[in-house]
Every structure is written in structure tokens, then in C-alpha cells.
Structure 1
Amino acid sequence: MNISIHATFLPHDDPEASLAFYRDVLGFEVRNDVGYEGMRWITVGPGDQPGVNVVLYPPGSDPGVSDDERRTITEMMAKGTFASLVLSTADVDAAFEQIAGANADVVQEPIDQPYGVRDCAFRDPAGNQIRIQQQH
């Protein structure tokens, strides 16, 4: 069996700020931008990986989510505990300098982790943790 990742979903609460972060700071290409009833779903991804997509979605859009659940999601997003994404790069220090230089919200500067990777972390405009690990 050969299964690959096609898309992952991260919530956003400000589509323009999220678009600026993923497109302008991380350098992802915009693959789709769909609006419906005042909400936007924006699909982005690395230019050299056309089959890998990150869909930035409005968290309140699922009709099966109750108002209490929406409040919980909003609270978790504000704390940065609702969603995360792990990316990789050949040079985490250079990536960190570039992203931090764009005034991204730094969570962790590059560090050698005891589990064998060097990584750093940021929060995107919606509070999602974006961890970047150095490729081996």
C-alpha cells in the first residue's frame, strides 16, 4: 500500500494575516482561495511539493460544532494549543533568521533536541504552532 499526505487543515481567524504569513513569510504558493458566506478557505503549499497542501480554514464553519465547542476552539487557538504543523528544512538556523526577521511570533529559537533533531518554533497569526526541524 502506498499512502501519501494530500492535505492537512489549520484554522485561521484572519484570512489576510494567515495568507501573508504562509505566502510571504514561509514562501508557500497559494493554490486555492475560496470564499463562501463571508468565510474563506485558503489552500497553500510548498512550490516544489504540489501534492502537499495546507488548507487554512475558518474553525466555525463546521455545522456539527456547537457554540460551546467554537468557544473552546477559539480559546485554544489564542493559547496556541489547538493545532500545529511540523515542517522541515536543510538549514533550520537560516530558516529561523529569515522567518524571525519577518517579525513572526517566535516560540523557540533553534535548539538541538534530546530526541535527535535541531528545530525551532513559531506561532502563525491564528496561534497555530509551526515547528521547523532540520533535515538529516
Structure 2
Amino acid sequence: MNITIHQSYLPQDDPDAALAFYRDALGFEIRNDVGYNGMRWITVGPKGQPDTSIVLHPPAADPGITEEEKRVITEMMAKGTYAAVNLATDDLDGLFEKLQADDVEVVQEPTDHPYGIRDCAFRDPAGNMIRIQQTK
């Protein structure tokens, strides 16, 4: 049996800003862009990896979410504590410079950790934590 990660979900509250970050800054390709009832779901993914995607979704699209839950989600997104994703690259320093030049919110510059990982961190326009690790 072979199991892979096909799609992961991150909330977005501004589709155009999300596109600018994931498509323009990270270089992901758009796989799908669907609107429904004034909301928008955008599926993006790294070029050359058609089976791995991130769906950028409206944070309160679930009809079962209460107004209080919507408020909490909005507050957590604003603080950057609601959702996160870890990415990897073979050129961490180069990608960090590119993202910094694109004026994204830097959380942590490239750092060598004592447990053997070198990574950096940013926030996307919705506040999601984006950690990027150096591959060997």
C-alpha cells in the first residue's frame, strides 16, 4: 500500500493576496480556482509535483461553524496561530532572499538548529505560518 499527501488545506481571507504569495512569491502553479456564493477556493502546488497541492479556502465556508467559531478562527488567523505548512527547498538562502525581496512577513531568518534542521519562517497574507526547511 502506498499513501501520499494529495491535498492540504490552508485558510485564506484575501484570494488575490493569497495568489500573489503562493503563485508569484513561491512560484507555485494554479491548479484550480473555484468561486461559489461569493467565496473562492484556490488550489496551488509546486511545479513538477502535480499530485501535491494546497487548497487555499475561505476560513468559514463550513456551514456548521457558529458565529463564535468564525470569530475565534479570524482572531487565530490574525495572530498566525490557526494553520501552518512546512515546505522544503534545496536553496534555502536563495529562496529566503527572494521572499524577503517580495516583502513578505519574515518570522525567522535562516537558522541552523541544534537538532540538525536549517530553516526559516514566514507568514502568508492570511497569517498562516510557512516554515521552509533546507533539504540535504
Q: TM-score, normalised on structure 1? A: 0.98
Task: Kindly report which structure 2 residues correspond to 1:72-111, keeping only aligned pairs within 5 A, or say none.
Answer: 72-111=72-111
Tell me how far apart the structure 2 counterparts of residues 10 and 134 of structure 1 sit (CA, whole Å).
22
* Structure 2 counterpart of 1:103, one-letter code: D
CA deviation digits over 1:35-84, x for unaligned, max 9? 00000000000011000000000011001111111100000000000000
Count, aligned residues: 136
Q: Indicate the SS of the match to 1:32.
A: strand
* Runs of at least 4 residues off by over 4 Å: none
Indicate the RMSD between aligned Cα atoms, in angstroms.
0.6
The sequence identity of aligned pairs, in percent, is 65
CA deviation digits over 1:94-120, x for unaligned, max 9? 110011110000000000012211000
Task: Indicate the residue corresponding to 2:134 in structure 1.
Answer: 134
Task: Indicate the residue corresponding to 1:18 in structure 2.
Answer: 18
Structure 1 residues not aligned, in runs of 5+: none
* Structure 1 counterpart of 2:10, one-letter code: L
Task: Indicate the residue corresponding to 1:114 in structure 2.
Answer: 114
Tell me how far apart the structure 1 counterparts of residues 35 and 59 of structure 2 sit (CA, whole Å).
14
Q: Indicate the SS of the match to 2:60.
A: helix
